[in-house]
A and B are shown apart, each in its own frame.
Chain A
Amino acid sequence: MKIAIASGKGGTGKTTLSTNLAGYFAEKGEMILADLDVEEPNSGLFIKGESVYKEDKYKMIPEWEQEKCTLCGLCQDVCNFHAVIQLVDQIMVFPELCHSCYACSELCPTDALPMVPKKMGELNHFRKDNLTFVESRLDIGQEQAVPLISQTNEYIDKHFPKEAIKLYDSPPGTSCPVIEAVKNADFVILVTEPTPFGLHDLKLAVDTLKELKIKFGVVVNRHGIGNDDVVNYCQKENIDLIAKIPNSRRIAELYSRGELIYQKIPEVKHQFENIERYIFAINKKGA
């Protein structure tokens, strides 16, 4: 079962929930956590495992071969992303803009633009007791997170059984990287905070998941701060409110040091039991 943890707004507690839930579940059995927030991956700060495997990740981009090129201009014409530009006597490729669609390469009449791999980031696979942790990080200056997220998902699908519980720490927002991270999930936990910003971005995330037709529920983090609008919204919209994690400076301090919180704060552990029961129930329903 694939469970993505997403939020709309950044900094609401996605990574806190992902890493702590992963730790909590791993006490009982095999557990897989993937950090798909490849622009700013943080889960690894909270989970220190042994490195099992590591590989560079590439995207395919065209490379110009001058001797084959007749400067016909077709490549520039077909590229919708302005990643291939023809100058007076040469072709320039802008790898950051390339979407790896292969059109220029495969339509080139003289095969002068073969696709070659270009590094965009790296994938790391760690292990700690029952917990498998996979994270990918995008190289600085790379613009597109989507290809790396998609390759990370492929890695997990290939290496781990379908029925295992897998948690995916997703990027913030509602645009392409989030869609890529959640689109194959069986269920999404939306983490929010009970503030106007939290509510506003929660609504965006809810609209996105409805559009994608993915089931979801909400966890309120920092419960007690702000106001009741998020809770009222969920009730009105018939959205399952799975758990409420209390607002506490102590939790913020533990988080600031890179520590897990569920073992130290009984109320958090209690809320995790709610989440566990909920996930167990929907998993059974789905099976």
Chain B
Amino acid sequence: MKEIVVISGKGGTGKTSITASFAYLGGKDVVVADCDVDAADMHLLMQPDFAKSEDFFSGEIAVIDQDKCTKCGKCADVCRFNAIPVINDQYVVQPLDCEGCGYCSRVCPEDAITNESQNVGNWYISNTKAGNTMVHARLGIGADNSGKLVAKVKNEAKQIAKENNKNYIIIDGSPGIGCPVISSLSGAGFVVLVTEPTVAGLHDLKRVYKLVKQFNIETGCIINKSDLNLKVSNEIEGFLKEEDIIHISSLPYDETFTTAMTLGQTIVEYGESNLKEIIKESWEKVIQIVGKKSKK
């Protein structure tokens, strides 16, 4: 079983549209994991049925029992996050500022502070229209996206793949290079970078690849909107060569992606287009690379 992680560094390069197309093409052979839990969009294309839903608890938050509090202020003194201001003559924890370190509760002489574990979101196991299982999640507002929910979604997907002898897990990752991305990369068998030929796309590609390199995972790249700027497109190809990244394919700038999306469809379900063919070939290429590796 191989984990294929799709990331991009920069947001809006077409990562989710391409991942969902792969998930559709993979059909029953794959388990799908939407690890972009902060702004999860893949369900809009995969029409999952939310068959199973669970709360996700992570991290803690300090709660002050005002009946026990003697207003000594020690908690506020030790808090490095300024999360315990005095409001109406009471020390009150601000949930959005509290990091859940628990320091305040340890120094409170009255034992007036408890740490309560927080419901930071939900995760789901669904059947999708492509006939596969999808694990996805929704992070609560302002919740700490420490990568724990990402790890949960991934581990559930792994478990399902194992139990049902599935060959591949397809993972839609987050933008950026921080904790959720790092969490989605750990244990991956192949990384697909989706980029676009813009100065920002290339800049972010280089940064995210530096991170991927630390994990030492084989990597391929899809250049989306490749004809938007041929000069930058060439620069990207040069970068891929230099870094030994497999150039999977180049897709044209094509607003059909959006048209299909407004119908809740992946591009491979929508009409006949050149784009559709290239994505099919891209998926076959990915499977071929990943398949070869697992035989080794």
Interface residues of A (CB under 8 A from B): 8-12, 15, 39-40, 42, 45, 78, 80-81, 99-103, 106-107, 138, 140-145, 171-177, 179, 183, 195-197, 200-201, 204, 207-208, 211-212, 225-227, 249, 252-253, 255-258
CA–CA, A10 to B99, complex, Å?
A: 25
Distance (whole angstroms) from the CB of B17 to the closest CB of chain A: 8
With contacts A15-B200, A78-B103, A256-B228 taken as known, whether A197 is within 8 angstroms of B41 at the C-beta atoms is yes
Residue B78 at the A interface, CB < 8 A?
yes
Interface size on B, residues (CB 8 A): 62
Cβ contacts under 8 Å, B210 to chain A: 140
Q: Is B251 part of the binding interface, using a Cβ–Cβ cutoff of 8 Å?
A: no
Bound CA span A284–B78, Å: 39
A212 partner residues in chain B, CB cutoff 8 A: 96, 142
CB-defined contacts of A12 to chain B, threshold 8 Å: 11-12
Q: Tell me the dominant secondary structure on chain B's binding face.
A: loop
Q: Would A144 and B261 count as touching, CB distance under 8 A?
A: no
Residues of B within 8 A of A144 (CB): 178-179
B144 interface contact, C-beta 8 A: yes
- A195 near B106 with CB under 8 A, answer no
Q: Are A102 and B103 in contact (CB under 8 A)?
A: yes
Contact B178 A145, beta carbon cutoff 8 Å? yes
Cα distance A169–B179 when bound, in Å? Answer: 20
- B13, B39, B196, B229: the one within 8 Å of A201 (CB): B39
Instruction: Kindly state the separation between the CA atoms of A66 and B99 in the bound complex, as whole angstroms.
Output: 28
Which of chain A's residues have a CB closer than 8 A to the CB of B228?
A: 249, 252-253, 256
A175/B11 in contact, CB under 8 A:
no
Q: Does B50 contact A (CB under 8 A)?
A: no
Q: Quick one: which of B246-275 are within 8 Å of A by CB?
A: 253, 255, 258, 261-262, 264
CA distance A175 to B142 in the complex (A): 4
- Contacts of A9 on B, CB cut-off 8 Å? 11-12, 39, 41
Q: Mark B23-47, 1 if CB is under 8 A from A, else 0.
A: 0000000000000001101001000
Give the docked Cα–Cα distance between A197 and B179 (Å).
23
Which among B129-137, B169-177, B286-294 touches the partner chain? B169-177
Report whether B178 and A177 are in contact in the complex, using a CB–CB cutoff of 8 Å: yes
